[in-house]
């Protein structure tokens, strides 16, 4: 690459990853200073690549309009519902994501969140720290994973990793997807409500976007029942948040463990105030090693594209023509 190629970094990436981009391209970081934003405004017509780092921006037609020469948008994360990939495809823009490198980390988080929710681990720790153990006696008895069955909503790479962990813990697994997954032996439920009736634990790990918006609604929660537990490590949009809050208040379900929310980083105060809910700040993949691998793949996709080798991990909506 002898010419100077200009790209935009929309949010923070670790220094090592950003250094790799700086070595190959002229990089604009409009989220850092007013000066950088002003420079990007002047250079927008020449921008050819976007590295979408950690941000809550929606990258859609209005975003693409700013950059008429844009060729590739490399998004950090396996989910890319914040990117209008169909709009990108219409413009001939390649979109990439970062699959596989975060599978095990997110699966670990799902199991950790599940254990915290079922066994009240955060609540029990708060009880101890508040000095209540000597004065009030042992913490209350908690629900258990024993004699529970789990329904996984979504059976992609991460869903399979979660299922393996549940099997090792002797928790029976079934799943719901639109179509059965060929290499999966677990029982498939084509109807989500029917699966909810058959289990007392649902783990959500399906992609976000319009197709799955509010997929877990009041009817699903009612079917899950008063002993039911909902875990969401997918996208906040998949669960009808208002219906979930009402189900928890009305004791239609027992509890919930949530790593994602409808309007991040805003979390409804009603959820925060509930003691039978465990909340995490969207940290499913947020380990040093996994985020480094994700961010490196963002950079590698852009470097590979402008080296003439094509993208490494293009999304389904924007395949590279052979």
Annotated active-site positions, please? Answer: 235, 264, 282
Burial of 44 (0-12, 13-18, 19+ CB in 10 A): middle
Residues near 140 by beta carbon (within 8 Å), at least 6 away in sequence: 120
CA–CA dist 220, 154 (Å, integer): 15
The strand ranges marked E within the chain are: 6-9, 26-28, 47-52, 72-75, 94-96, 150-153, 173-176, 187-188, 201-204, 229-232, 255-258, 277-279
Q: Are 49 and 302 contacting, i.e. CB atoms less than 8 angstroms apart?
A: yes
Among residues 4, 8, 13, which one has the least CA distance to residue 39? 8
Report the interhelical angle of 288-306 vs 15-24 (nearest 10°). Answer: 10
> Tokens 């708060």 sit at which residue?
126
């Amino acid at each position: 690459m002898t010419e100077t190629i200009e790209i935009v970094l929309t949010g923070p990436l670790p220094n090592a990853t950003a250094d790799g981009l700086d070595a190959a391209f002229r990089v604009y970081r409009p989220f850092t200073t007013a000066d950088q934003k002003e420079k990007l405004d002047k250079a927008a017509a020449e921008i050819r690549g976007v590295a979408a780092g950690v941000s809550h921006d929606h990258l859609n037609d209005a975003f693409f309009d700013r950059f008429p020469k844009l060729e590739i948008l490399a998004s950090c994360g396996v989910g890319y519902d914040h990117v209008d990939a169909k709009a990108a495809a219409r413009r001939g823009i390649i979109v990439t994501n970062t699959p596989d490198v975060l599978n095990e980390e997110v699966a670990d988080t799902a199991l950790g969140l599940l254990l915290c929710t079922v066994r009240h681990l955060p609540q029990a720790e708060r009880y101890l720290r508040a000095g209540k153990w000597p004065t009030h006696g042992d913490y209350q008895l908690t629900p258990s994973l024993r004699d529970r069955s789990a329904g996984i909503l979504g059976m992609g790479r991460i869903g399979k990793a979660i299922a393996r962990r549940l099997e090792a813990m002797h928790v029976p697994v079934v799943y719901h997807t639109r179509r059965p997954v060929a290499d999966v032996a677990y029982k498939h439920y084509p109807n989500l409500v029917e699966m909810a009736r058959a289990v007392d634990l649902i783990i959500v790990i399906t992609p976000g976007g319009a197709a799955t918006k509010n997929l877990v609604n009041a009817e699903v929660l009612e079917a899950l029942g008063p002993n039911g537990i909902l875990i969401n490590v997918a996208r906040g949009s998949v669960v009808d948040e208002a219906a979930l809050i009402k189900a928890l208040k009305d004791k239609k379900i027992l509890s919930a463990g949530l790593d994602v929310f409808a309007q991040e980083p805003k979390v409804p105060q009603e959820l925060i105030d509930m003691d039978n809910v465990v909340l995490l700040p969207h940290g499913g993949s947020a380990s040093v090693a996994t985020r480094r691998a994700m961010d490196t793949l963002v950079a590698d996709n852009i470097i590979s594209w402008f080296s003439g080798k094509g993208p490494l991990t293009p999304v389904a909506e924007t395949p590279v023509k052979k």
